[in-house]
Structure 1
Amino acid sequence: MKHLPPVLSFVRNWSSYALAIKKASSSSSPTKPMHLYSKLHRKGVPLDTFCIIFTLKSCTHLYNLPIIHHLHAHIIKLGFTSHVHVATCLLNAYVLLSFFDACVLFDELPQKNIVTWNTMILGYSRFGDVNRARELFEEMPHRDSVSWSSMISAYTNVGSYIQSLSLFRRMLLVEGTKPDQVTAGAVLSGCAHMGCFGLFAGKSVHGYIVKNGWELNVEIGAALVNMYAKGGVLRNAATVFELMDERDVMSWTLMICGAARCGFNREALIVFEKMQMAGVKPNELTFTGVLNACAHGGFVEEGKRYFKMIEQCGLEPRVQHYACLVYLIGKSGMLEEAYEIIKKMKVEPNVVVLGSFLSACKEHKQFEIAERVIEQVLKTAKPENDRGLYSLIADLYVIGEKWEEAERLKELMVNERMKQARGLNFVRNGLR
């Protein structure tokens, strides 16, 4: 043992080797466990499955595929490929670094446990292949709450909210599996995008949460606030928000954005002030909600002050922040000031920012000022994607009595609609 590294001079058994590697993985050097493992291997120290697992877990965070390939080859050499826990740990590494290798390994595994199946479902979900994820889900011999949560989250992430809700219903009523809070949060996230039907379904999920005495933690609370706010029931969102014992930046942000979305702009700013008093640091999305409330409420001075606060909080103003500020100042009639903001932007103004400015110009019937950015907009905007913006510019041409330009844009939009209609008919005829 005298030739071993100092940290291993006292080691006398396999479990101690594994613990030494585990301890190394918690050090500040992410490569230390791999170096330690290599030294042990070169010294001929017998390594067990725990040594392999701890090394794999630490090396996964290095995002270095060749290292994982090297460990995989060593696992094969040691004969540990049939060990289900080692294989599952290796599979998890491949899911993060090389999904093709993960698929090959999964098909070759002689034994699969429930964690192995769940890992692959999560992998397919990450790559947006929910159909293959569902196939694996249905093939599983047994499912736990993680399996259901992974599949439900997969549907929610790709916008298949009906399937997400349907699977949750099957989980409860057919399979009799009790959901956990992660599952409920995923379902509520989907309900927030389903309008009145989603609101009705979300209330049922909320009822289930209350009936089972679940703690209103940050994740569940935020999902409920978001669902009620997007459903237009701000009173319920506020009630849930007040009942939350702990609120993170996302909870506060969802409440601010929800209030602004429902037209309670002054209330949104009050929530933001309370957030600051609570010592919670706002993020970029928070300021988007705050500036949106100022823009729709016409709070010019507050909007300017909050915009300056973005940099004071160590953040960089984003395009969406400039769009809100330009709309706010332009809408109030200060079009020259709004134009100066566009010229001094630290980021390239996109069609959203320029469209906000043009909308304000139309409202105040100021074609001469709008003309300064129209050419820039037409260079980047496309009639097939930005039809509303083209219509806005056509209206501005009418205000400026530029009849030929207005007619040209309208003809361009009509022609584009005819192209899309012909393309749709071609697809329909091809499917017959």
Structure 2
Amino acid sequence: MLVPLSHFLKSTKWQIPRKSYNTWVLAIKNASSPLKALQLYTHMHRQSIPFDTFSILFTLKSCTHFKNLTIIHHLHSHIIKLGFNTHVYVSTCLLHAYAVMSFDQACDLFDEMPQRNIVTWNTMITGYSRSGSINKARSLFEAMPVRDAASWSAMITCYINNGFRDQGLSFFREMMANENPKPDQVTVGSVLSGCAHMGSLGLLAGKSVHGFVVKNGWELNVDIGTLLVDMYAKCGFLKNAVWVFVLMQERNVSTWTALICGAAQHGFCQEVLSLFKMMQEAGVRPNEMTFTGILNACAREGLIEEGRKYFKMIKETGLEPRIQHYGCMVDMFGKAGLLEEAYEVIKEMEFEPNIVIWGSFLSACKMHNQFDIADRVIGQVLRDIKPENDGGIYSLVSDLYALNKKWDDAERVRNLVLNQNVRKARGSSCI
């Protein structure tokens, strides 16, 4: 049996004065938290204050933030009791709530809906996208009686977010060729993000998207501008990234960080430090990703003292170092042959070392033939990381044993990999 809504409201100690109906609806809309919206809704019910679609919609939207199916079930039951379940806007809002928490129940509701609008269909495509059901999303897209820009965006995002970026770009080209509907900012954002993750392979498509933005007279606002900077930077076209950056009237921390991380990724390490100095002079406060880009540049260039300085600056800025920052420091010390310092960084971490950090550390031990230091952690690495999860680490450990003529240990570890029939994992960086 479902727990009654009053269970969630036992902690309520404040009294709600009597108000007019319109004031109640406005109060639900402007509630400072989902809990207050639910409290207001419950009070309206107890006081027999009449509901309409607006009060139902505002409560549903607010309570979706709870991500609690019990609450949504109770609201659903109340909606049916009030007879609002046949209202397409209410049903669509309820569908969105289920899609966030239990997509199977969203599918059931979709099948039962007597009426659907374009938002209903788009919500389902997005839900299938999140669950990785690309073919079902495409079938639903094809079955739509009418499509808008959001429908195309949802389908393009579905392909891109599930790793089928070529198909996503092809879909975008088809959308541009149809000219109705035209791509909007959300569509362009999804495509540019996909191009950025394709590296140099996405450059041509990214340029065509940029051309579309210019041709249609779009303002180079902070959102579109930052996406273009990020795309060009990650594709290795730093000159174009800087050009867009300079043309932008407004820049935020994401804009600066996109350029810094892109420059670091392609080895423009001194430029990274210069950009960070300009960022500080502009009064823009860095975030965690900004420092990841800076530390990655220091690691690539072997700028040990600068790396120490910027790692210390993370806390001075009011942030806490993340695992990727520690990973950059391990990488930096490891490449420089400072294996003891790299090991100290690992010991000082508040996180459990991940595969990337262990791989970076052991690779450095192998590069500098420092088996004694590697031997301190090999036992922990083999306990924490299973061969089926990353055969590359096991192959690295086997190589370290072989380089130090520990043939039996090398064969033992190698057999663990072969028995699991695993492949070496792709190399990873600290970004």
**Fold conserved (TM > 0.5)?**
yes
Shift of 1:137: 1.3
Partner of 1:111: helix, strand, or coil?
A: coil
Q: TM-score scaled to structure 1, two decimals?
A: 0.86
Determine the C-alpha separation between the residues in 2 that align with 1:33 and 1:395: 60
* Unmatched runs of 5 consecutive residues or more in structure 1: 12-16, 422-432
Deviation at 1:298, TM superposition (A): 0.7
Q: Is the 8 A contact 1:384 1:416 kept in 2?
A: no
Using the alignment, how far apart are the partners of 1:59 and 1:268 within structure 2? 44
Residue 404 of structure 1 deviates from its aligned partner by 4.2
In the alignment, is the contact (CA less than 8 A) between 1:18 and 1:50 conserved in 2?
no
Aligned to 2:324: 320
**C-alpha deviation, 1:103, in angstroms:** 1.7
1:120 equivalent in structure 2: 124
Work out whether residues 200 and 236 of structure 2, in 8 Å CA contact, stay in contact via their aligned partners in 1: no
Mapped contact 1:21–1:55 kept (Cα < 8 A): no
Measured after TM superposition, the shift of residue 119 of structure 1 is 1.8
Distance 1:67 1:407, change over 3 A: closer
Match for 2:54 among 50, 53, 56?
Answer: 50
Match of 2:213 in 1: 209
Q: Would the alpha carbon gap of residues 51 and 128 (structure 1) be closer, same or farther in structure 2, given more than 3 Å must change?
A: same
Between 374-383 and 261-270, the greater mean CA deviation after superposition: 374-383
Moved more, 22-31 or 220-229: 22-31
| Residue identity in the other structure for 1:121 | I
Q: Does 1:186 align with 2:190?
A: yes
- Secondary structure in 1 aligned to 2:66? coil
1:124-163 CA deviation, whole Å, 9 max, x = no partner? 2222222222221111111111111111112111111112
Query: What is the correspondence of 1:96-111 to structure 2 with a 5 Å cutoff?
Result: 96-111=100-115
How many residue pairs align between the two structures? 409
- Residues in 2 aligned to 1:70 and 1:207: alpha-carbon distance in whole angstroms: 50
Partner of 1:14 in structure 2? none
Q: What does the per-residue CA deviation read over 1:308-350, in whole Å, with 9 as the maximum and x for residues that have no partner?
A: 1222233332332222212222332333232222233222223
Pair 1:350 & 2:337 matched: no
**1-side partners of 2:338 and 2:78: how far apart?**
69
Q: 1:223 to 1:5 in 2, by over 3 A?
A: closer
TM-score normalised by length of structure 2: 0.86
Distance 1:397 1:66, change over 3 A: closer
Q: Distance in 1 between matches of 2:72 and 2:40?
A: 15
SS at match of 1:214: coil
Taking only the aligned residue pairs, the percentage that are identical comes to 61
Root-mean-square deviation over aligned CA pairs: 2.6
Alignment of 1:18-37 (within 5 A): 18-28=22-32, 30-37=34-41
CA contact (8 A) 1:367 1:396 kept: yes
Matches within 5 A, 1:13-92: 17-28=21-32, 30-92=34-96
**Aligned match of 2:8:** none
Greater Cα offset, 286-295 or 195-204: 195-204
Match of 2:203 in 1: 199
Aligned in 2, Cα 1:396/1:72: closer, same or farther, shift over 3 Å? closer
Matches within 5 A, 1:3-402: 6-8=17-19, 11=20, 17-28=21-32, 30-174=34-178, 176-402=180-406
Answer whether contact 2:391 2:422 (CA < 8 A) is retained.
Answer: no
Deviation at 1:88, TM superposition (A): 1.9
1:387–1:67 Cα change, 3 Å: closer
Deviations 1:185-230 (A, max 9, x none): 1111112233444211111111111111111223322222222222
d(CA) in 1 for partners of 2:402, 2:195: 43
Over 3 Å counting, the alpha-carbon distance change for 1:83 and 1:377 in structure 2 is closer
Query: Cα distance, 1:66 vs. partner?
Result: 2.9
Deviation at 1:183, TM superposition (A): 0.3
CA–CA separation in structure 1 for the residues paired with 2:389 and 2:310: 32
Tell me which of the two structures has the higher relative contact order, counting C-alpha pairs closer than 8 angstroms and 6 or more residues apart.
2
Structure 2 residue matching 1:216: 3-state secondary structure: coil
Which amino acid is the alignment partner of residue 265 of structure 1?
A: C
Q: Is the 8 A contact 2:28 2:58 kept in 1?
A: no
Taking structure 1 as reference, are residues 159 and 173 closer, same or farther at Cα in structure 2, changes over 3 Å only? same
| Aligned residues of 1:18 and 1:51 also touching (Cα < 8 A) | no
Q: CA deviation at 1:306?
A: 0.9
Does the residue aligned with 1:31 lie in a helix, a strand or coil? helix
Unaligned 5+ segments in structure 2 are 1-14, 424-431
Once the two structures are TM-superposed, the CA of residue 407 in structure 1 deviates from its matched residue by: 4.9
CA distance in 2: counterparts of 1:139 and 1:327, whole angstroms:
51
In the aligned structure 1, how far is the partner of 2:378 from the partner of 2:151? 52
What amino acid sits opposite 1:235 in the alignment?
Answer: K
Larger of the two Rg values belongs to structure: 1
SS of structure 1 residue aligned to 2:145: coil
